[in-house]
Amino acid sequence: MLVKMKKTAIIVGASADIGIKIVESLKKRDWNVYGTCNKNKEKLERQLDKSNIFKINLNSENSRRELEEMVIGIWRREKRVDAGVYVAGLWNPFFKFIDEDEDKIKEMWNVNYHGAYWFFRALVPCMIQIKNGSFVSISSTAWTKGSPHAETYGATKAALANLMISLSEELANYGIRANIVSPGPTNTKAFRQYYPNDMDVSEIIKNIPINKLAEPENIANCVAYLIEDKYVTRQNIILDGASMF
Ligand SMILES: NC(=O)c1ccc[n+]([C@@H]2O[C@H](COP(=O)([O-])OP(=O)(O)OC[C@H]3O[C@@H](n4cnc5c(N)ncnc54)[C@H](OP(=O)(O)O)[C@@H]3O)[C@@H](O)[C@H]2O)c1
Protein backbone atom coordinates (compact mmCIF):
# COMPACT_ATOMS: atom_id res chain seq x y z
CA MET A 1 0.00 0.00 0.00
CA LEU A 2 1.31 3.45 -0.91
CA VAL A 3 1.60 5.69 2.20
CA LYS A 4 0.82 9.30 1.39
CA MET A 5 3.44 11.59 2.97
CA LYS A 6 2.07 14.60 4.83
CA LYS A 7 2.89 18.00 3.35
CA THR A 8 5.52 19.83 5.40
CA ALA A 9 5.67 23.54 6.24
CA ILE A 10 8.31 25.56 8.07
CA ILE A 11 7.19 28.74 9.85
CA VAL A 12 9.97 31.18 10.78
CA GLY A 13 8.75 33.32 13.67
CA ALA A 14 6.07 30.89 14.83
CA SER A 15 6.04 31.82 18.52
CA ALA A 16 3.91 34.99 18.74
CA ASP A 17 0.19 35.49 18.09
CA ILE A 18 0.12 35.48 14.27
CA GLY A 19 2.73 32.71 13.97
CA ILE A 20 0.90 30.49 16.47
CA LYS A 21 -2.39 30.87 14.58
CA ILE A 22 -0.65 29.91 11.33
CA VAL A 23 0.74 26.79 13.04
CA GLU A 24 -2.73 25.90 14.39
CA SER A 25 -4.43 26.48 11.08
CA LEU A 26 -1.97 24.33 9.10
CA LYS A 27 -2.12 21.54 11.67
CA LYS A 28 -5.93 21.50 11.32
CA ARG A 29 -5.41 21.09 7.59
CA ASP A 30 -3.23 18.04 8.30
CA TRP A 31 0.12 19.66 7.54
CA ASN A 32 3.28 18.53 9.27
CA VAL A 33 4.52 21.79 10.81
CA TYR A 34 7.93 22.99 12.00
CA GLY A 35 8.44 26.38 13.66
CA THR A 36 11.14 28.70 14.92
CA CYS A 37 11.20 30.96 17.93
CA ASN A 38 13.71 33.23 19.58
CA LYS A 39 12.84 34.29 23.15
CA ASN A 40 9.39 32.76 23.58
CA LYS A 41 9.00 29.00 23.39
CA GLU A 42 6.04 28.33 25.68
CA LYS A 43 3.07 28.82 23.32
CA LEU A 44 4.85 26.96 20.53
CA GLU A 45 5.62 24.01 22.79
CA ARG A 46 1.87 23.62 23.37
CA GLN A 47 1.42 23.24 19.59
CA LEU A 48 4.45 21.31 18.37
CA ASP A 49 6.71 18.44 19.46
CA LYS A 50 10.09 19.59 20.75
CA SER A 51 11.79 18.04 17.71
CA ASN A 52 9.71 20.32 15.43
CA ILE A 53 10.88 23.52 17.17
CA PHE A 54 14.11 25.38 16.35
CA LYS A 55 15.45 28.26 18.40
CA ILE A 56 17.15 30.70 16.04
CA ASN A 57 18.12 34.29 16.80
CA LEU A 58 17.84 36.05 13.45
CA ASN A 59 19.91 38.94 14.76
CA SER A 60 23.05 36.86 15.24
CA GLU A 61 25.97 36.11 12.97
CA ASN A 62 25.10 32.38 13.06
CA SER A 63 21.56 32.84 11.79
CA ARG A 64 22.26 32.09 8.11
CA ARG A 65 24.02 28.82 9.00
CA GLU A 66 21.33 27.87 11.51
CA LEU A 67 18.54 28.51 8.99
CA GLU A 68 20.37 26.41 6.37
CA GLU A 69 21.02 23.56 8.81
CA MET A 70 17.37 23.60 9.90
CA VAL A 71 16.10 23.41 6.31
CA ILE A 72 18.53 20.61 5.34
CA GLY A 73 17.74 18.67 8.55
CA ILE A 74 13.99 18.86 7.92
CA TRP A 75 14.45 17.96 4.26
CA ARG A 76 16.44 14.83 5.17
CA ARG A 77 13.90 13.81 7.81
CA GLU A 78 10.73 14.43 5.80
CA LYS A 79 12.05 14.01 2.24
CA ARG A 80 9.96 17.05 1.31
CA VAL A 81 9.32 20.65 2.30
CA ASP A 82 6.24 22.11 0.59
CA ALA A 83 5.92 25.53 2.18
CA GLY A 84 7.99 28.21 3.90
CA VAL A 85 6.26 31.02 5.77
CA TYR A 86 8.22 34.02 7.07
CA VAL A 87 6.45 35.70 9.98
CA ALA A 88 9.35 36.99 12.09
CA GLY A 89 9.30 40.73 12.48
CA LEU A 90 10.40 43.57 14.65
CA TRP A 91 8.48 46.81 15.01
CA ASN A 92 9.73 49.93 16.69
CA PRO A 93 7.39 52.82 16.03
CA PHE A 94 7.13 56.29 17.47
CA PHE A 95 10.58 57.78 17.14
CA LYS A 96 11.72 60.79 15.21
CA PHE A 97 13.50 59.82 11.98
CA ILE A 98 16.67 61.62 13.07
CA ASP A 99 16.70 59.72 16.37
CA GLU A 100 16.58 56.21 14.92
CA ASP A 101 19.19 54.04 16.63
CA GLU A 102 21.85 52.42 14.42
CA ASP A 103 21.85 49.06 16.21
CA LYS A 104 18.05 48.94 16.02
CA ILE A 105 18.22 49.65 12.28
CA LYS A 106 20.63 46.72 11.79
CA GLU A 107 18.53 44.43 13.97
CA MET A 108 15.40 45.29 12.04
CA TRP A 109 17.04 44.51 8.69
CA ASN A 110 18.36 41.22 10.09
CA VAL A 111 15.02 40.08 11.49
CA ASN A 112 12.61 41.53 8.92
CA TYR A 113 14.58 40.96 5.71
CA HIS A 114 17.94 39.10 5.87
CA GLY A 115 16.44 36.13 7.73
CA ALA A 116 13.82 35.76 4.99
CA TYR A 117 16.43 36.05 2.26
CA TRP A 118 18.56 33.17 3.67
CA PHE A 119 15.55 31.06 4.64
CA PHE A 120 14.01 31.13 1.17
CA ARG A 121 17.42 30.68 -0.45
CA ALA A 122 17.95 27.52 1.59
CA LEU A 123 14.52 26.20 0.56
CA VAL A 124 14.89 26.71 -3.20
CA PRO A 125 17.18 23.71 -3.99
CA CYS A 126 14.87 21.39 -2.00
CA MET A 127 11.72 22.63 -3.71
CA ILE A 128 13.29 22.46 -7.16
CA GLN A 129 13.81 18.73 -6.56
CA ILE A 130 10.10 18.14 -5.91
CA LYS A 131 9.03 20.78 -8.47
CA ASN A 132 6.61 22.23 -5.95
CA GLY A 133 6.70 24.82 -3.22
CA SER A 134 5.06 27.85 -1.75
CA PHE A 135 6.56 30.87 -0.03
CA VAL A 136 4.47 33.34 1.98
CA SER A 137 5.84 36.38 3.80
CA ILE A 138 4.02 38.51 6.34
CA SER A 139 4.77 42.08 5.35
CA SER A 140 2.62 45.03 6.46
CA THR A 141 0.50 47.83 5.01
CA ALA A 142 3.51 49.96 6.04
CA TRP A 143 5.30 48.86 2.84
CA THR A 144 2.72 50.34 0.49
CA LYS A 145 1.56 53.41 2.36
CA GLY A 146 4.83 54.49 3.96
CA SER A 147 5.64 54.40 7.62
CA PRO A 148 6.23 57.77 9.30
CA HIS A 149 7.91 57.33 12.70
CA ALA A 150 8.90 53.79 11.71
CA GLU A 151 10.83 54.40 8.48
CA THR A 152 13.14 51.41 8.70
CA TYR A 153 10.27 49.08 9.55
CA GLY A 154 8.41 50.21 6.41
CA ALA A 155 11.55 49.88 4.28
CA THR A 156 12.33 46.35 5.51
CA LYS A 157 8.75 45.24 4.88
CA ALA A 158 8.90 46.76 1.36
CA ALA A 159 12.14 44.87 0.69
CA LEU A 160 10.56 41.64 1.93
CA ALA A 161 7.54 42.11 -0.35
CA ASN A 162 9.79 42.96 -3.28
CA LEU A 163 11.79 39.76 -2.70
CA MET A 164 8.57 37.73 -2.92
CA ILE A 165 7.52 39.46 -6.14
CA SER A 166 10.93 38.84 -7.76
CA LEU A 167 11.06 35.20 -6.64
CA SER A 168 7.54 34.53 -7.91
CA GLU A 169 8.73 35.27 -11.45
CA GLU A 170 12.17 33.68 -11.21
CA LEU A 171 10.91 30.41 -9.71
CA ALA A 172 7.49 29.95 -11.35
CA ASN A 173 8.95 27.53 -13.87
CA TYR A 174 9.97 25.19 -11.04
CA GLY A 175 6.46 25.09 -9.57
CA ILE A 176 7.45 27.44 -6.75
CA ARG A 177 4.99 30.20 -5.86
CA ALA A 178 5.59 33.30 -3.72
CA ASN A 179 2.98 35.56 -2.13
CA ILE A 180 2.65 38.28 0.47
CA VAL A 181 0.13 39.00 3.21
CA SER A 182 0.16 42.64 4.31
CA PRO A 183 -1.85 43.17 7.50
CA GLY A 184 -2.94 46.49 8.87
CA PRO A 185 -3.39 46.86 12.66
CA THR A 186 -3.89 43.37 14.07
CA ASN A 187 -5.04 42.42 17.54
CA THR A 188 -1.85 40.83 18.89
CA LYS A 189 0.15 41.15 22.09
CA ALA A 190 2.84 43.06 20.16
CA PHE A 191 0.25 45.56 18.86
CA ARG A 192 -1.33 45.96 22.31
CA GLN A 193 2.11 46.63 23.77
CA TYR A 194 2.24 49.84 21.72
CA TYR A 195 -1.46 50.64 22.15
CA PRO A 196 -2.34 49.53 25.70
CA ASN A 197 -5.01 52.20 25.98
CA ASP A 198 -8.49 51.26 24.61
CA MET A 199 -9.12 54.91 23.65
CA ASP A 200 -6.12 54.85 21.32
CA VAL A 201 -7.31 51.59 19.78
CA SER A 202 -10.78 53.10 19.25
CA GLU A 203 -9.15 56.01 17.38
CA ILE A 204 -7.37 53.53 15.10
CA ILE A 205 -10.58 51.58 14.51
CA LYS A 206 -12.36 54.79 13.43
CA ASN A 207 -10.13 54.72 10.34
CA ILE A 208 -10.92 51.09 9.51
CA PRO A 209 -14.16 50.91 7.48
CA ILE A 210 -14.84 47.32 8.59
CA ASN A 211 -14.87 48.69 12.16
CA LYS A 212 -12.48 46.29 13.85
CA LEU A 213 -8.86 45.24 14.01
CA ALA A 214 -7.76 42.16 12.09
CA GLU A 215 -7.44 39.06 14.28
CA PRO A 216 -4.47 36.68 14.00
CA GLU A 217 -6.75 33.96 12.58
CA ASN A 218 -7.70 36.26 9.67
CA ILE A 219 -4.03 36.39 8.71
CA ALA A 220 -3.63 32.63 9.26
CA ASN A 221 -6.63 31.78 7.04
CA CYS A 222 -5.18 33.87 4.27
CA VAL A 223 -1.76 32.23 4.59
CA ALA A 224 -3.33 28.76 4.41
CA TYR A 225 -5.21 29.70 1.24
CA LEU A 226 -2.07 31.09 -0.41
CA ILE A 227 -0.09 27.99 0.51
CA GLU A 228 -2.65 25.46 -0.63
CA ASP A 229 -3.88 26.92 -3.89
CA LYS A 230 -1.56 25.67 -6.61
CA TYR A 231 -1.99 28.57 -9.04
CA VAL A 232 -2.04 31.79 -7.06
CA THR A 233 1.34 33.52 -7.07
CA ARG A 234 2.86 37.03 -7.03
CA GLN A 235 -0.07 38.33 -4.98
CA ASN A 236 -0.10 40.81 -2.13
CA ILE A 237 -3.21 40.33 -0.01
CA ILE A 238 -3.86 43.50 2.00
CA LEU A 239 -5.80 42.78 5.21
CA ASP A 240 -6.63 46.27 6.39
CA GLY A 241 -10.43 46.25 6.58
CA ALA A 242 -10.69 48.52 3.52
CA SER A 243 -8.67 51.37 5.04
CA MET A 244 -7.89 54.22 2.69
CA PHE A 245 -4.23 54.73 1.86
N1 LIG B 1 0.35 42.97 14.93
C2 LIG B 1 0.20 43.86 13.95
O3 LIG B 1 -0.54 44.84 14.05
C4 LIG B 1 0.95 43.65 12.65
C5 LIG B 1 0.62 44.44 11.54
C6 LIG B 1 1.30 44.27 10.35
C7 LIG B 1 2.29 43.30 10.26
N8 LIG B 1 2.60 42.53 11.34
C9 LIG B 1 3.67 41.54 11.20
O10 LIG B 1 3.20 40.25 11.57
C11 LIG B 1 4.28 39.48 12.10
C12 LIG B 1 3.88 38.85 13.45
O13 LIG B 1 3.51 39.86 14.35
P14 LIG B 1 2.83 39.58 15.79
O15 LIG B 1 2.06 40.81 16.10
O16 LIG B 1 2.17 38.23 15.81
O17 LIG B 1 3.97 39.46 16.86
P18 LIG B 1 5.45 39.92 17.00
O19 LIG B 1 5.76 39.95 18.42
O20 LIG B 1 5.71 41.14 16.19
O21 LIG B 1 6.13 38.62 16.34
C22 LIG B 1 7.44 38.59 16.19
C23 LIG B 1 7.94 37.19 15.84
O24 LIG B 1 9.24 37.42 15.35
C25 LIG B 1 10.16 36.73 16.18
N26 LIG B 1 11.39 37.50 16.37
C27 LIG B 1 11.56 38.80 16.79
N28 LIG B 1 12.87 39.09 16.91
C29 LIG B 1 13.54 37.94 16.57
C30 LIG B 1 14.90 37.59 16.50
N31 LIG B 1 15.90 38.44 16.82
N32 LIG B 1 15.23 36.33 16.09
C33 LIG B 1 14.26 35.44 15.78
N34 LIG B 1 12.96 35.70 15.82
C35 LIG B 1 12.59 36.94 16.22
C36 LIG B 1 9.47 36.54 17.54
O37 LIG B 1 10.07 35.44 18.24
P38 LIG B 1 10.07 35.35 19.86
O39 LIG B 1 8.71 35.85 20.30
O40 LIG B 1 10.28 33.88 20.14
O41 LIG B 1 11.20 36.20 20.36
C42 LIG B 1 8.03 36.28 17.06
O43 LIG B 1 7.87 34.93 16.69
C44 LIG B 1 5.48 40.43 12.20
O45 LIG B 1 6.32 40.24 11.08
C46 LIG B 1 4.84 41.81 12.14
O47 LIG B 1 5.71 42.78 11.61
C48 LIG B 1 1.95 42.68 12.54
> Which domains can be identified in the chain, with CATH numbers?
8-239 (3.40.50.720)
Mutate to test the pocket of ligand 1, among 111, 113, 223 (most ligand atoms within 8 A of CB): 111
C-alpha 129 to ligand 1 mean position (Å): 31
CA-to-CA distance for 68 and 72, rounded, in angstroms? 6
Question: Closest residue (by CA) to atom 26 of ligand 1?
Answer: 88
Provide the total of helices (H) and of strands (E) in the chain, helices listed first. Answer: 10, 7
| Vertex 239: Cα angle to 235 and 242 (nearest 5) | 110
Q: Mean pLDDT across the chain, nearest whole number?
A: 95
232-242 residue pLDDT tens: 999 999 999 99
Work out which ligand 1 atom sits closest to the CA atom of 107: 31
User: Which band of pLDDT confidence, cut at 50, 70 and 90, is reported for residue 145?
Assistant: confident
What lines the ligand 1 site, CB under 6 Å? 13, 15-19, 37-40, 56-59, 87-91, 111, 138, 140, 183, 185-186, 188, 190-191
Average pLDDT over residues 149-163: 96
State the pTM of this model: 0.98
Residue among 44, 91, 118 whose CB has most ligand 1 atoms within 8 A, to mutate: 91
Q: Does the structure show a pLDDT above 80 at 1?
A: no
**What's the rounded mean pLDDT across residues 212-238?**
98
Q: How far is the CA of 12 from the centre of ligand 1 (A)?
A: 10
Whether pLDDT at 245 is above 70 = no
Q: Using 50, 70 and 90 to split pLDDT, how confident is the model at 3?
A: low
89, HSE (Cβ side, Cα atoms, 13 Å): 29
Give the mutation target among 24, 59, 90, 193 for probing the ligand 1 site: most ligand atoms within 8 A of CB. 90
Region 67-80: mean pLDDT is 97
Q: Examine the pLDDT at 94 and tell me if it is beyond 80.
A: no
Contact 119, 84 (CB under 8 A): yes
Mean pLDDT of 173-191: 97
